[in-house]
Chains A and B, each alone.
Chain A
Amino acid sequence: MISELKAIAIGVSAGGFNALHRILPMFRSDFILPIMVVQHRKADQESYLITSLNDKCQLSVKEPLDKTKIEPGNIYIAPGGYHLLVEKDYYFSLSVDPPVCYCRPSIDVLFESAAEAFGSTLVGIILTGANFDGTKGIKRIKSLGGITIAENPETAEINYMPRSAIKTNAVDHILNLDDIPGFIEKLLGK
């Protein structure tokens, strides 16, 4: 039994530029869930990633401002230099609290706050990366009933991050990058 899904959270580090350009354009314009993404990056690298993804995606890609309401049909990319958090009434807040796992934005910070806000209606996805950020977050999503996915380490550009998440036994599905959007469509019953 799958409860009604409300949001997708994606965490990605090294290799993310290519990975995001592969999978985000595969979500069609009628995709109904908001997609929240933490891609590790420096504070000043924002505009190119957003512009480039926007050119290729059917959904609207944006950096949320503090207190932006989370709405379907949008892909939200965490701004460089800020943690992205989900508040219980489904809007974002930002913070410049110290880095977590050496990163700001940190995947754990998004995943843990999103898990508490969305509970079993959240899908958490860990993609390529050379960091262990997101591992705690995946555990939290799983323990609150959400669905957890890791990119197949065999085919990931850098396998450290998905491998670290899988080691916790909190990952439900291990999938090749290209299969992830279709798998989520299937979860939604399409």
Chain B
Amino acid sequence: MAMESSNNMNILIQDIEDGLDTEELSEEKAIDHEDIEIRLILETVKLVHGYDFTNYAYASMKRRLEKNLDESGLEKLSEMIPLIIHDKDFFRRFLHNISVNFTEMFRDPHFFLSIRQMIIPYLKTYPFVKIWAAGISTGEEIYSLAILFREEGIYDNCIIYATDFNDNVLEIARDGIYPAADMKLNTANYQRSGGKESFAGYYHAGYDSVIFDSSLKKNIVFANHNLVTDGVFGEMNMVICRNVLIYFNKKLQDHVLELFSQSLRRNGFLCLGAKESLEFSTSAPLYSVVDKAARIFKKKRDVL
């Protein structure tokens, strides 16, 4: 009898193990587990380091986390958690890998052409102009704006607040040093954006890099600002935030667009990325369209 019950027990244990095995093989179950691991990772990052990625667009965040997993040589997403807590170097690489820092100068030349033709004449009617560029990454767009404003004669009457949550990219932006190899594309973009000078006149070349003329930085204030957790910049004439909102989910997009609405003065301009839209947002009624293709909007009235 004793033998028999022990056999039964073995069979039972075998059944449970089989059950566990099948469960491990189910791809749907694996996705559920990954979702939990990702939530734990993002919660850990928030608790330990104060960066809140919990309302980022999920599908692309998952891809970046999986890529980081591949690079780290770990097996499971959750194995990153202790390293995020205890290993500074790991966390620095992690933060770099899950941030997206793709940018180029005069990206979407049509947008910059529209700024020249439709916005500058309006801005010129003000004695002084305040601009907030949010999520500037490595800063290519900031130098593009500075060049455009100088050519249009309003640079000396403006201040540009250039912000990002990531100190590493802010430092690159502040230095204004970029690969020389990028200048071919940047020059082509500049010309298509209505550029009036020789583009090479704005930078000094040396070996594989170029450095943009430091006079372009005169009226730029580089500052750390986190769109998720930090507050309003007051009385702006223009807010530029291009290809940042695509990384947020709808809830966070609404929050950030509200932040922009509160930062803009009446008749101020909001500039978004080429594929970003106000139409899905709660802030949509506050704006009129200036240039639909260039994604330039104008604030109609003050937020109540």
Contact, CB under 8 Å: A93 / B102: no
Contact, CB under 8 Å: B275 / A94: yes
Stretch at the interface among B56-64, B118-126, B176-184: B56-64
Contact, CB under 8 Å: B57 / A65: no
Contacts of B63 in A (CB 8 A): 85, 97, 109, 112-113
Give the docked Cα–Cα distance between A93 and B102 (Å): 17
Closest B-chain residue to A104, C-beta based? B102
A44-69 CB mask vs B (1 if < 8 Å, else 0) is 00000000000000000001011110
Contact, CB under 8 Å: B59 / A85: yes
Contact, CB under 8 Å: B246 / A93: yes
Contacts of B57 in A (CB 8 A): 85, 87, 93, 95
Instruction: From the candidates A87, A93, A144, name the one contacting B28 in the complex (CB within 8 A).
Output: A144
Q: Does A157 have its Cβ within 8 Å of any Cβ on chain B?
A: no
Instruction: From the candidates A82, A88, A144, name the one contacting B58 in the complex (CB within 8 A).
Output: A88
Q: Does B239 have its Cβ within 8 Å of any Cβ on chain A?
A: no
Contacts of A63 in B (CB 8 A): 275
A-B contacts counted at CB < 8 A amount to 67
Instruction: From the candidates A67, A98, A117, name the one contacting B102 in the complex (CB within 8 A).
Output: A98
Interface residues of B (CB under 8 A from A): 27-28, 31, 57-60, 63-64, 100, 102, 243, 245-247, 249-250, 253, 273-277, 279-280
- Return B61 CB to nearest CB of chain A, in Å: 9
Give the docked Cα–Cα distance between A6 and B185 (Å): 41
Contact, CB under 8 Å: B31 / A95: no
Instruction: From the candidates B58, B60, B243, B280, name the one contacting A67 in the complex (CB within 8 A).
Output: B280
Contact, CB under 8 Å: B246 / A96: yes
Contacts of B59 in A (CB 8 A): 85-88, 93, 113, 116-117
Give the docked Cα–Cα distance between A68 and B58 (Å): 15
Q: List 11 A-B contacts (CB under 8 A).
A: A65-B275, A66-B273, A67-B253, A79-B275, A83-B60, A85-B59, A95-B60, A95-B100, A95-B246, A97-B64, A143-B27
Give the docked Cα–Cα distance between A116 and B58 (Å): 11
Give the docked Cα–Cα distance between A94 and B279 (Å): 16
Contact, CB under 8 Å: B275 / A66: yes
Contact, CB under 8 Å: A85 / B60: yes
Q: Does A137 have its Cβ within 8 Å of any Cβ on chain B?
A: no
Contacts of B27 in A (CB 8 A): 143-145
Closest B-chain residue to A143, C-beta based? B27
- List CB contacts (< 8 Å) of A114-169 with chain B: 116-117, 119, 143-145
Give the docked Cα–Cα distance between A119 and B29 (Å): 12
Contact, CB under 8 Å: A67 / B250: yes
Give the docked Cα–Cα distance between A7 and B160 (Å): 45
Q: Using A86-B59, A143-B27 as known contacts, list a sample of 19 further A-B pairs with CB atoms less than 8 Å apart, ordered by residue number in A.
A: A65-B276, A66-B273, A68-B277, A82-B246, A85-B59, A85-B60, A85-B63, A88-B58, A93-B59, A93-B60, A95-B100, A96-B102, A97-B60, A97-B63, A97-B64, A97-B100, A113-B59, A116-B59, A144-B31
- List CB contacts (< 8 Å) of A60-111 with chain B: 63, 65-68, 79, 82-83, 85-88, 93-98, 109
Which of B28, B31, B246 has most A Cβ within 10 Å?
B246
Give the docked Cα–Cα distance between A85 and B275 (Å): 13
- Return A141 CB to nearest CB of chain B, in Å: 11
Contact, CB under 8 Å: B275 / A95: no
- Return B95 CB to nearest CB of chain A, in Å: 15
Contacts of A79 in B (CB 8 A): 274-275
Shortest 3 CB-CB distances between A and B: which pairs?
A85-B59, A95-B60, A93-B57
Contact, CB under 8 Å: A66 / B102: no
Contacts of B243 in A (CB 8 A): 96
Contact, CB under 8 Å: A66 / B276: yes
Contacts of B279 in A (CB 8 A): 65
- Return A137 CB to nearest CB of chain B, in Å: 12
Contact, CB under 8 Å: B100 / A66: no
Asked whether A119 and B246 contact (CB < 8 A) given A66-B277, A79-B275, A97-B64, the answer is no
Give the docked Cα–Cα distance between A187 and B249 (Å): 34
Which of A88, A116, A143 has most B Cβ within 10 Å?
A116
Contacts of A144 in B (CB 8 A): 27-28, 31
Contacts of B247 in A (CB 8 A): 95
Contact, CB under 8 Å: A94 / B28: no
